[in-house]
Structure 1
Amino acid sequence: MSVYVELVVFNNFAIDLLLEVATLMVFRRKIKWWRVLLGAVVGSAVATAYPLCPTVWQIVVKVLLAPVMALVFDGDLSTKRSKSKVVEKSKNAVKIKRGLIEYFKRLAVFCLVTYIVGGIDYGLSFALGIDVNSCWQFGVCAISLLTLLISVRVLVLKLSKNARKICDSTIRLKDTRATLKSLCDSGNTLTDTLTGLPVVIISSNAEKLLALDENSIEGFVDVKTVAGESSMPLVRLDDVIVKGKRFCAYGALARQDFEGVDVILQNTMF
């Protein structure tokens, strides 16, 4: 009996891990492994205890397990609360609304991936004539698929990194000047609607180097990405120098770090 319990725990943990990583990859979200592992532990523990629960609690588990897991492995419902009075009411409400929309999208994909993986596994079991209750098929299949997913992601990131065009840009704001690795991204078409000036996207690291604070924020810009829509604080930069050319521009604060670069240039700047 102990072997059977260990088998169930292993299979549930491996499958939950696979489902979480697959869901995050669909949205190209950064994988926070401690949250993913915590979500898999919660899911496997509840799934293992499920057969022992009374009927009422089994219904509760069926309804709440997926939403809880989606909240655990990637549960940012809103961005950080700003101290700026401009943001206190309307902007925070918009951010929370968008966060909830993204959460429900994640939840829907998580449930869809769950059914797809379950169907594939049962299909393989039927085709190969393997008894799922007498072997480690579920867990081994999940771990194999998870390894494949991670390998493909690493390969794609490596190829895209090699293909990216990166240059140095110098940004000046008041008495602070910083030379930063910048990505020449033809997909960045952001422009300030009032002034028509280009908008560069600044990482958290660059924000610290430029000593930016909440008092520097002049407005917000809506940004659409593959992961969804977000609103970024906007600051006026004194100068942005790219390959000897000087630009007047705004900076959108991403409030996160990028891989290998600190600035994403607008497509008219290179």
Structure 2
Amino acid sequence: MIVYVEAVILDNFCFDFLLGYLTYLFLRRKVRYACVVLSATVGSLIALVYPLAKGYGMLVKIFALFVCSLLLTLKRSVRSYLIATFVYAVLSFVLSGIFCFLLGGKMANGFIGLKWGGLVCIVSVGTFLLLYTARQTIGLIGERRRKEKFATAEVFGNGKSIKISALFDSGNLLTDQNGEGVVVTDQRRLQALGDLREAGEMRVHTASGSRVLKLVKIPEIRIYSRGRENILTNVTAALSDLPEQYALILPCE
């Protein structure tokens, strides 16, 4: 719902932009900035005709609510539109209340009355930049952590080598008789290395149940991760016969 700030178009646009942006965040959808700008622009234009709609102010505000939320959900289902409209309406009431409290304004006839124009614009832009920066920072940290979990491994044996995808898994707590970590690998991928020295068997408990896996010794594994190369020698590997997304599952560092 549109909050009109002393008929200042810039204030209306920035407020509606923030409102549309927050709607996407609460819906946990990818922000479509073109739709947010379009919705804010239409909201600002409706603010211009609001003073002319004497006696029909409530109808104008309801119309603005449905139109602005519709522009945020273009090419979406009716269900998505109704949910977005509800979120948009709730956020408009909450946000207008917060702005009134922070800026010392008063609601009157659908307007937030302030002594100086532009305050809503400044607060809206500042809030948006703060939220955007925080989301970008959190995203970069998450992406870095995600990349740190993955690696490329080169496995050597019998004078041959293969390169496979690897994953550092904190859930891999397997150890051999010497207390060294045990890697889990796809036995079909290791067939390219020929016969490797057997090292017994191990019972492994996973989400799919309990299984007994054959153990072999891999002479050397080179792990390439984060621009570094780590070399493991005489590694105990449990051979899995289940299809895995990653051919080699390493103990977490």
In the superposition, the TM-score normalised over structure 1's length comes to: 0.49
The C-alpha deviation readout for 1:2-53, integer Å capped at 9, x for no partner, is: xxx9971000000000000011011221112111111110011101221122
- Distance apart, 1:59 and its partner CA: 3.5
| Equivalent residue, structure 2, for 1:145 | 127
- Pick from 96, 103, 119 the counterpart of residue 97 of structure 2: 119
Unaligned runs of 5+ in 1: 78-98, 169-178, 187-239, 246-270
Aligned length: 154
Work out whether residues 21 and 36 of structure 2, in 8 Å CA contact, stay in contact via their aligned partners in 1: yes
Q: Distance in 1 between matches of 2:101 and 2:22?
A: 19
* Paired residue type of 2:20: E
Change (3 A) 1:161 1:51: same
Work out whether residues 6 and 117 of structure 2, in 8 Å CA contact, stay in contact via their aligned partners in 1: no
* Higher strand content, 1 or 2: 2
Identity %: 24
| Equivalent residue, structure 1, for 2:69 | 70
Q: Distance in 2 between matches of 1:14 and 1:55?
A: 27
Structure 1 residue 103 corresponds to structure 2 residue 106: no
Alignment of 1:135-214 (within 5 A): 135-164=117-146, 165-166=149-150
Work out whether residues 23 and 87 of structure 2, in 8 Å CA contact, stay in contact via their aligned partners in 1: yes
The C-alpha deviation readout for 1:244-264, integer Å capped at 9, x for no partner, is: 37xxxxxxxxxxxxxxxxxxx
Unaligned runs of 5+ in 2: 106-112, 153-163, 172-242, 249-253
Alignment of 1:1-270 (within 5 A): 8-56=8-56, 58-77=57-76, 99-126=77-104, 132-164=114-146, 165-166=149-150, 242-244=245-247
Work out whether residues 22 and 149 of structure 1, in 8 Å CA contact, stay in contact via their aligned partners in 2: no
- Distance apart, 1:242 and its partner CA: 3.1
* Paired residue type of 1:71: L
- Distance apart, 1:241 and its partner CA: 6.3
Work out whether residues 12 and 48 of structure 1, in 8 Å CA contact, stay in contact via their aligned partners in 2: no
Determine helix, strand or coil for the equivalent of 2:133: helix
Q: Distance in 2 between matches of 1:66 and 1:132?
A: 23
34-43 or 117-126: bigger deviation: 117-126
The C-alpha deviation readout for 1:144-169, integer Å capped at 9, x for no partner, is: 1111111111112112212224568x
* Paired residue type of 2:21: V
Q: Distance in 2 between matches of 1:59 and 1:121?
A: 21
Runs of 4+ aligned structure 1 residues displaced above 6 Å come to: none
- Distance apart, 1:115 and its partner CA: 1.0
* Paired residue type of 2:247: G
Alignment RMSD: 3.5
Change (3 A) 1:7 1:60: closer
* Higher helix content, 1 or 2: 1
Work out whether residues 70 and 103 of structure 1, in 8 Å CA contact, stay in contact via their aligned partners in 2: yes
* Paired residue type of 1:28: R
* Paired residue type of 2:10: F
Change (3 A) 1:6 1:111: closer
In the superposition, the TM-score normalised over structure 2's length comes to: 0.52
Work out whether residues 132 and 138 of structure 1, in 8 Å CA contact, stay in contact via their aligned partners in 2: no
